[in-house]
Structure 1
Amino acid sequence: MKITSTLLSSASKTLDKYALFVPKSGVFPKGYEVASLASGVKKNGALDLGVIRNVNKSRKSSAAAVFTTNRFKAAPVQFSRKVLDISSGEGVDAIVVNSGCANAVTGELGMQDAENVASQVNKYVGEQNSTLLMSTGVIGQRLQMDKISTGIDKLFIENKFSSDFGSWLNLAKSICTTDTFPKLISSKFSLSDGTEYTLVGISKGAGMICPNMATLLGFVLTDLPINSSALQSMLTGAVTRSFNCISVDGDMSTNDTICMLANGAIDTPVIDESSPDFQKVSSQVTEFAKNLAQLVVRDGEGATKFVTVNVKNSAEFKDARLIAESISNSMLVKSALYGQDANWGRILCAIGYSKLENCKSLDESKINVSFIATDGSSPQELKLIANGVPQLDIDESRASEILALSDLEVLVDLGTGTEECQFWTCDLSHEYVTINGDYRS
């Protein structure tokens, strides 16, 4: 009976997330087509293979990527890094994504499989070193190459590619594992001269989420012309303040990859680091990446709360980031949030053991800690610690109301500078253990 109840509860949450976070339409950059199918790798017949291709040949495309820092880097990570090194980030026209198998810790045979997948797509695209790979799923298993290869042939030979909304949404579904909803966002932006361009982003991830990235795949595509050096700078900066500022469970995967393609389908001068619009586009890409990364946290395995940890007025950004990360990764903080317990001691403890290189950003006599409500009721800010002193008259009933919200903020004001960092995390529930206790089955 308990299992049935849990399943029903999970199904209800999934439907809610579909209604809230899955778009019903979108705008998509010029010059890209996508296709996906169920290759049979997933036993349940779900979509598990997708391909993105650039069909704009008016300019050479640019590519950039940020990869996992896990020492056991999966074959698709190693292969994609090699492609970017060889091509210097130019001429990448395809991305192959698959779920159900991570092709990680598979040795030389796994690398051969990755190379064979890319070579197959390169032949259809018509260029060597033009394909990046992303894989997610169980570690230690080789790709089922017969199914993957047959699937790729079918996508290209039967020309299943399209640029419509349904095809983009299906692509997002094709890389889901324990995700409860596909993560797809798109938006139009303008350059200083009014020229419009588009960003589309897809990500996957719900567990093994911890900086620097986690079992996290994602890509951002644009139709702007951006040279590869400027694109890498934009993406690195965006990831630093988005995908590297999320935490579900403190675990990091072998396959993390965030990449960005710019195909130059918009007729405007190529953007480089010296271009007048470089900073503007960089800021827009960063905000876009934040929105995409936050969807990963909202889909955290078993999560019931989306929590913003905002550390402000720090002497240095890196210190604010370390403190925000420490709070976000604390299992005790996350458990207290799930239990709706206003246990500020756990927050303070996490701040205290954060791995700061020096303490000029942290002065115990200046620190303030608060809960910030999102329900519009008063008081919006519930002060827990003021100038290092615990507040003895905390309104426990208001604290309970705030901690019962699905969205809330933990605000830490260090009072030692002007730098600020936000992290996004979630609570830790019983369902997280249930999901991960039998992942391979």
Structure 2
Amino acid sequence: MSLMEIRKISNKNIVSPRGFTAGGMHCGIKQNKKDLALLVSEVPASVAGVFTTNAVQAAPLKVTKEVVYQASKMQALIVNSGNANACTGKQGLIDAYEMQSLAAKKLAIDPALVGVASTGVIGEIMKMEPIRANIEKLELGSTTEHGIDFAQAILTTDTVMKNTSYSTIIDGQEVVISGTAKGSGMIEPNMATMLGFITTDANIESDVLQKALSDITNVTFNSITVDGDTSTNDTVIVMANGLAGNASLTPVHPDWDSFYSTLQLVAEDLAKAIARDGEGATKLIEVEVSGALCDEEARKIAKTVVGSPLVKTAVFGNDANWGRIIAAVGYSGATVDPEKISIKIGNALMVQDGEPIPFSEEELIEILKADEVKIYVFLGQGEGHGLAWGCDLTYDYVKINASYRS
């Protein structure tokens, strides 16, 4: 099946696949914004998850990992913003399990089928009373508004919601894959201060879904960076409830490529939306590296370039300083031959085979003023290819993070 049979669905969100409901509300963890959300599948769903590589991991991750790796099914996910429930000791774990229990009681399901995710300030004990007092008031539904309520309730310093949805045909049935995410700062996957939730009505077993998500994460969520900080709470969860009625998907299924490509498009959309919405950011930066010895080295170089504070500030200032780009390529740790490196910003060639090329400063300033800036690095050494996304580094990033707790 070709990618032409994959369709992006506008104005759709996390509840678009069959059998999913969601909701979000203000319960009182934050002062006046939505801060409690719930995502529910009509039936227990196959589940896959990827989590932060930070050695310091928040209490909700322990709870959710048990659901993903032991129960291997998930029917609901409770999420709060405003408090990360991280570095909160034994009490934090008690609170995370209570959140799991409260959601299960509301839905009359087994607590072992409920995941927990939290985002916000690290090191503060969770305010549980607002959750206890208000969770029964949280309204669930499958309308666009319910999906929007969920997406809003998981945000912290984000300036926009991050939603995407695609459909494809598997075994003659329409299969929908939708996602929502939050993330704006402390973004340096593997993985970052980001939460990503993906739903689908496809029929697929958890172990197969896990392998697909892990592979896709390497080229999407793990290829973005805002500020080089890896958070304590990063989580991406995929729930697949099988209500589309297709035959169980595996890599030998004739429509496997269509499912995999659709899932990757959803993950890439969410990853790019997080990079674009970096704290204080004004531009999305995409770095494409080709001609590396292998794909892994290409991705390493791309992420090093897009994560360089000097590259990021140059893009913010509309400064065509290609020296910062080639320096980042050099210190990336990948194998490179300086005499074979070529660099373009947009369609403007600046370096060819290690030699500087005269360019129009005026033309480059206009390219750098765009909302999206693309940097191309050609290494001339092999077939390796990689992409990474990030954002510019602005004065506002410092202002936002200098007063995050106030």
SS in 2 for 1:55: strand
User: Which one of 74, 94, 98 corresponds to residue 58 of structure 2?
Assistant: 74
CA–CA separation in structure 2 for the residues paired with 1:194 and 1:268? 8
User: Which one of 199, 202, 209 corresponds to residue 187 of structure 2?
Assistant: 209
TM-score, normalised relative to structure 1? 0.87
Residue 229 to residue 24, structure 1, CA distance change in 2 (3 Å): closer
Q: 1:94·1:125 contact (CA, 8 Å) conserved in 2?
A: no
User: Which one of 325, 328, 341 corresponds to residue 367 of structure 1?
Assistant: 341
Please give the per-residue CA displacement for 1:61-102, whole angstroms capped at 9, x wherever unaligned: 200100000111000112111222221x22x10001100000
Q: Is it true that 1:145 corresponds to 2:111 in the alignment?
A: no
Partner AA of 1:177 in structure 2: T
How much has 1:334 moved relative to structure 2? 0.6
Please give the per-residue CA displacement for 1:304-342, whole angstroms capped at 9, x wherever unaligned: 111110001212011101101111111111111111111
Identity of matched residues, %: 39
How much has 1:114 moved relative to structure 2? 0.5
Q: 2:203·2:243 contact (CA, 8 Å) conserved in 1?
A: yes
Q: How many residues matched?
A: 395
Match of 2:3 in 1: none
Match of 2:6 in 1: none
Q: Is it true that 1:390 corresponds to 2:356 in the alignment?
A: yes
SS in 2 for 1:172: helix
CA–CA separation in structure 2 for the residues paired with 1:125 and 1:261? 19
Q: 1:323·1:351 contact (CA, 8 Å) conserved in 2?
A: yes
Q: 2:76·2:115 contact (CA, 8 Å) conserved in 1?
A: yes
CA–CA separation in structure 1 for the residues paired with 2:135 and 2:46? 23
Q: Is it true that 1:431 corresponds to 2:396 in the alignment?
A: yes
How much has 1:400 moved relative to structure 2? 1.1
SS in 1 for 2:110: coil
CA–CA separation in structure 2 for the residues paired with 1:42 and 1:394? 50
User: Which one of 252, 258, 265 corresponds to residue 230 of structure 2?
Assistant: 252
User: Which one of 163, 172, 180 corresponds to residue 159 of structure 2?
Assistant: 180
SS in 2 for 1:129: helix
Partner AA of 2:382 in structure 1: G
CA–CA separation in structure 1 for the residues paired with 2:308 and 2:108? 46
Query: Runs of 5+ in structure 1 lacking a partner?
Result: 1-22, 373-380
Q: 2:24·2:151 contact (CA, 8 Å) conserved in 1?
A: no
TM-score, normalised relative to structure 2? 0.94
CA–CA separation in structure 1 for the residues paired with 2:109 and 2:189? 37
CA–CA separation in structure 2 for the residues paired with 1:111 and 1:179? 26
CA–CA separation in structure 2 for the residues paired with 1:84 and 1:425? 29
Partner AA of 2:338 in structure 1: E
Please give the per-residue CA displacement for 1:126-164, whole angstroms capped at 9, x wherever unaligned: 224101111000000111111112222222xxxx21000
CA–CA separation in structure 1 for the residues paired with 2:165 and 2:125? 33
Please give the per-residue CA displacement for 1:381-401, whole angstroms capped at 9, x wherever unaligned: 11111011112x211111111
Partner AA of 2:33 in structure 1: A
Match of 1:9 in 2: none
Partner AA of 1:41 in structure 2: I
Partner AA of 2:264 in structure 1: T
CA–CA separation in structure 2 for the residues paired with 1:28 and 1:397? 46
Partner AA of 1:47 in structure 2: K
How much has 1:303 moved relative to structure 2? 0.8
Residue 25 to residue 94, structure 1, CA distance change in 2 (3 Å): closer
Partner AA of 1:433 in structure 2: V
Q: 1:237·1:286 contact (CA, 8 Å) conserved in 2?
A: no
Please give the per-residue CA displacement for 1:169-222, whole angstroms capped at 9, x wherever unaligned: 11000011100111111222222x432111110000111111212110011100
Q: Is it true that 1:28 corresponds to 2:10 in the alignment?
A: no
Q: Is it true that 1:303 corresponds to 2:269 in the alignment?
A: no
